[in-house]
Amino acid sequence: MSSPVRDLAGRTALVTGATSGIGRATAVALARRGARIIVPARTLSKGHAVASTLPAVPDGVDDHLVRELDLADLTSVAAFAEATHETIDLLVNNAGVSSPTLRRTADGHELQLGTNHLGHFALTSALLPRVTGRIVSVASQAERMSRLDVADLTPGHLDWHDRPYDASRAYADSKLANLLFTLELERRLRAAGSPVKALAAHPGLVVTAIYDRRDGRRPGLWDRLLPIVGQSPEAGALPVVMAATADLPGGTFTGPKHLLHMRGGAEVIGRSARARDVALAQALWTASEQLTGVRAELAG
């Protein structure tokens, strides 16, 4: 394996969730290598505040760009894609949510799957004609807790309309979906003869706002342990940056080196049998097209 790419001068990277946590740390790391960053934000003022703190782009390159995007609203995703005319060398699908209660997106989908997977599926599909380099989706080893199979991939089941809501399982389903999306996207890119690669990254156990408790319950043991065993967003960004810049084949999954791939450094890691299931990945792709109304256009 060759050394990571150090010079990204003249390249544009779009990082979802770049206003905080791992996304912000990833955007900073890529900007330090010279990349111009597109910062999607639900609140433009917050996006501009973050963009103003990113390392400056090299002379002769346009400044970092802020544009409005709400991944939990497919109308917003479509508007963002319509307004994005720039060539995107690197797309990092990082933004994610974790919800302890059943909540829904603007389109009625369960919030975790709707944001973590469907929003990124729609965004990537719409932007594919403008992507020239890599698509990195931030997944998680939580995917191993998912029990999705082909029979589960119906709108009612995926959206928790016909089963009791389980927040942990819903999150795991969304993270498995990230890996299955990467698997099928990479297969389709290779079949189309495209130079674009699709990879995935697991940031490990990171102390970020995704774990903020907003349901009014008292903090439990996990809430007290996380600040002790969790790592910083900067450390969590290392596997993402590795997937984005290292000399790796498409379909690679990266993650931390230590503590069962939960913290420290970055390396290539494995995934569950379900996350390698081509038939499940293809079925999820079809279901995602139905749920979002968006179809990807792949060209060699």
CA distances from 233 to 29, 44, 204, 209, 294 (A): 11, 22, 10, 10, 32
CA angle 58, 132, 173 (to 5 degrees): 110
CA distances 110 to 11, 44, 105, 106, Å, are 35, 25, 6, 10
Closest CA to 282 of 146, 185, 151: 185
Alpha-helical segments (H) within the chain? 21-32, 44-51, 74-83, 111-113, 120-127, 155-158, 167-191, 221-229, 233-245, 278-292
In the sheet that holds 267-268, the strands lie side by side as 65-68, 36-41, 12-15, 88-93, 131-138, 197-201, 253-255, 267-268
Catalytic member of 80, 160, 171, 181: 171
165 is catalytic: no
* Residue listed under structure tokens 């000399």: 247
For the chain, give the number of residues.
Answer: 300
* Residue 289, CA atoms < 13 Å, CB-side half-sphere: 11
Q: Which of 95, 119, 80 is closest to 20 using CA atoms?
A: 95
The answer to whether 204 touches 261, Cβ cutoff 8 Å, is yes
Amino acid at site 110: E
For 136, the token pair is 């990195």
- Point out the residues that are catalytic: 171
